[in-house]
Amino acid sequence: MISNKHQLEFKKKIRIMRRILIAGAILTIFKFLAWYLTHSNAILTDALESIINIIAAAFGLFTLIYAARPKDENHPYGHGKMEFFAVGFEGALIFFAGIGMIYKAIISFANPVELHQLDIGLVITAIAALINYFMGKYMIQEGKKLHSSTLIADGQHLISDTVSSVVLLVGLGVILFTGLKIIDSILTIALGFYILFVGYRLLRNSMAGLMDETDFDKVLEIVDVLNTERTKGWIDIHNLRVVKYGSSLHIDLHLTLPWYDNLQKSHEEVKALEIVVNKHFEGRVEFFIHTDPCLPTACEICLLNQCEFRKQKFQKKLEWDLPLLMKNKPHHI
């Protein structure tokens, strides 16, 4: 079941995405108004990207609603991975839009379009860029707080939209003062390639999440918690793996405990490890912990001073780091 806290987080994500969807629709209308007034392909490029923002936000809203559903028999780990589909969908839309923009710009070299009222177009584009920037920063900030890849991806898209709008403003300003209309097509091609890069990056992030690629920053955070909260009874940890399901984490690891501990004692050690990690990650972690009995070779690294079953002298305390904990074998000197 999803905790009340996590239900509130999902509701907040959905509220944010709804607001962005409405704001994006209003901004798109203004951008198309700027294109209608100026006939600029570069402004049309910016307006078409805003349509992608709306479609992506709508799909993102759907995925957040779907991801909020509790675990069931068909989805024992929950529905959180749906957020990665939203990131990939947005990336694909952006990527193909970039190709279309470049194609249109190349065509316009042979058939240049007469530009009009660039001063009004500049003002409208500048206002839209400013609003996009603040919306993007807000979404990234809230996405990090709520651990939402969908909100972060949409925020990054809005920031990239702001960057392209700033480049657009500079280019249109040059056209306004020099009359060189070819700059409009050159600018459109440059923006098209930039948008291709943004789309690729989002697609790459989506595939990483769907393919359970290791998030090394997250794993290092977990390693730091384990080192900080380490007890003498946790003789060794290995085969550490972390899988992301939206805002939730699933952690697998092998924990080596004294072989003579009874089942109750081993359960308490496992529970203690789960508690300290979940405290750091605000209860978003689900564990699968396999316990191993210690072997005589582990005596060299065991921190239990008074162990009547010790077979070898203590040699060295192993410092837990990323390569060490991710290895799929017990450690010894």
Give residue-wise pLDDT tens across range 63-101. 888 887 878 888 888 888 888 888 888 788 878 877 877
Taking all residues of the chain, what is their mean pLDDT, rounded to a whole number?
Answer: 84
113 neighbors 42 (Cβ within 8 angstroms): no
266-280 as b/e, with b when 16 or more CB fall inside 10 Å? beebbeebeeebbeb
Q: 4-210 has which fold?
A: Alpha-lytic protease prodomain-like (1.20.1510)
Collect all residues with Cβ–Cβ distance below 8 Å to 34 and sequence separation of at least 6. Answer: 40, 43, 47, 120, 121, 124, 125, 128
Class of domain 216-326: alpha beta
Distance CA 67, CA 78 (A): 8
Q: Read off the tokens for 11.
A: 């509701």
pTM: 0.70
For residue 240, what is the enclosing H or E element?
A: strand 236-245
Residue among 324, 322, 264 nearest 291 (CA): 264
Once rounded to an integer, what is the mean pLDDT over residues 225-244? 93
Q: What is the pLDDT of residues 19-70, one digit of tens each?
A: 888 888 888 888 888 888 887 776 777 787 778 778 878 888 888 888 878 7
Are 21 and 29 within 8 A, CB to CB?
Answer: no
Q: Is the pLDDT of residue 5 over 80?
A: no
Query: Rounded to an integer, what distance in angstroms lies between the CA atom of residue 46 and that of residue 31?
Result: 7
Q: Is 115 helix (H, G, I), strand (E, B) or coil?
A: coil
Number of other residues whose CB lies within 10 A of the CB of residue 305:
8
Domain residue spans of the chain: 4-210, 216-326
Same fold, 4-210 and 216-326: no
